Amino acid sequence: MKKIMLVFGTRPEAIKMAPLVKEFQKEYEHAETIVCVTGQHREMLDQVLDIFDIRPDYDLNIMKQGQDLYDVTAKVLTGMRDVLKAARPDIVLVHGDTTTSTAAALAAFYQQIPVAHIEAGLRTHNIYSPWPEEMNRLLTGRLATYHFSPTPLSRQNLLAEAVGEKQIWVTGNTVIDALYWVVNKIKNETELSDRLAAELKDAGYDTSRLDGNRRLVLITGHRRENFGEGFIQMCNAIKTLTQKFPGVDFVYPMHLNPNVRKPIHEVFGENLSNCDNLFFIEPLEYLSFIYLMEKSAIVLTDSGGIQEEAPGLGKPVLVMRDTTERPEALDAGTVKLVGTSYDKIVSEVSLLIEDPAIYEKMSKAVNPYGDGQACRRIVSTLLQQV
Ligand code: UD1
Ligand code: UDP
């Protein structure tokens, strides 16, 4: 029986690999599924493992507060050496562009174990934006034997780098498999919405505030290249917007990275409570986050995964970055790059709040990232290949 190992370590990798773990587990008569988490994230990873009820076979538990790229790379590389020697998988699956995925792919290569890259071929063509993710993707792409691209454009990027066309499969993004699972769960489990609303209230945001005309702007931010000045400008823009639009709520589930929280405290003070339509809350577990996104009017973010989810829910997305590796929704007109300058963020969010025609144009539901069947395609392809 073939041994398939899936390796991941951060929140977004876990969300996007979880449905794939479930799909491989259905094939227990043909393949053994082994899950290894690096623990590059701890609490934010465990939130996802709990929701999808995944118990890892290996946990490197590497996270330390304020870790840098050297810490993560070195610990994943040496940790994976020992795990791979013990488990002897026939193939290692890694996801996307994190340091976990690149270091795990390198560790597998050192033992001549073939690597499959999930979410392969995304590119901005600028190695410093996002940093270090663009280089991580390039390196993982070189190390991989099997490339699962979410869209035809990502396949084109790989072909341009001379990856063989027989090594690339366009499958859609597994994030859409995960999203459909959540959306259906919320729709079909009658008590779930009430539970999520109650959990959000406990977390610090009461969604019943939205029962009248009040609208919601959902905010997240965490990119390394925005640390420092970029984050200060974003925070000042948010401050101005909350004062300008008292009838709009701004909810910011904060990433746990201390580099994200420092500028927030610098701009909003230690107790984060200087106006009554701005809510800083702890990172939400995945179901609550999607529930809140469904209730939002606008999403303001620098996240990768949220650029894929929000268009599927018909939510306009303003991306606080200068580049994106996900131009498909940009082309469809539901995502717009606004960078990290104070003026641009204030003016673009204001436009969407104040101009119904522009809002209408950006809020159509489009889904260039998949049909919810990506995991099935990946599993059936790999079971034939390995
Ligand atoms: C990482 C990925 C990034 C991905 C992001 C998703 C790299 C280089 N970066 O960035 O590509 O978009 O995850 O969120 O791989 N922390 C906690 N608990 C947690 C998670 C993080 O306390 O559950 C804090 C710790 O202090 C940790 C710090 O956040 O040291 C940074 O975590 P790290 O994974 O190094 O970087 P991210 O910015 O999260
Ligand atoms: N997310 C979540 N809780 C939150 C914020 C985000 O579950 O409080 C989910 C979100 O739905 C998406 C993923 O986390 O699937 C995005 O993670 P992040 O922005 O940290 O990383 P990126 O996608 O930029 O790599």
- Mean local confidence (pLDDT), 352-381: 95
The pLDDT tens digits of the residues spanning 340-354 come to 999 999 999 999 999
Q: Which residues neighbour 289 within 8 Å (Cβ) at sequence distance 6 or greater? A: 253
Quick check: 244 and 212 in contact, CB under 8 A?
no
Residue nearest to atom 4 of ligand 1 (CA): 98
pLDDT at 192: 96
Residue 293 CA: nearest ligand 2 atom is: 11
Active site residues: 97, 119, 133, 222, 224, 255
pLDDT per residue as tens digits for the range 298-348: 999 999 999 999 999 999 999 999 999 999 999 999 999 999 999 999 999
Q: What is the mean pLDDT of the chain?
A: 96
pLDDT at 274: 63
Closest residue CA from atom 7 of ligand 2: 286
β-pair type (58-59, 31-37): parallel
Instruction: For residues 81-90, give the mean pLDDT.
Output: 98
User: Distance from the CA of 1 to the center of ligand 1, in angstroms?
Assistant: 35
pLDDT at res. 351:
98
**pLDDT exceeds cutoff 80 at 209:** yes
The response to whether residue 44 sits with its C-beta less than 6 Å from ligand 1 reads: yes
Q: pLDDT tens for residues 237-291?
A: 999 999 999 999 999 999 999 999 999 999 999 888 668 999 999 999 999 999 9
* 66 C-alpha to ligand 1 centroid (Å): 9
Output the pLDDT for position 275. Answer: 80
pTM (2 decimals)?
Answer: 0.98
Q: Does any ligand 1 atom lie closer than 6 A to the CB of residue 65?
A: yes
- Evaluate if residue 33 carries a pLDDT over 90: yes
Cα(154) to centroid(ligand 1), Å? 25
DSSP β-bridge partners for residue 33: 4
Q: What is the pLDDT of residue 340?
A: 96
Task: Please tell me the predicted confidence (pLDDT) of residue 11.
Answer: 98
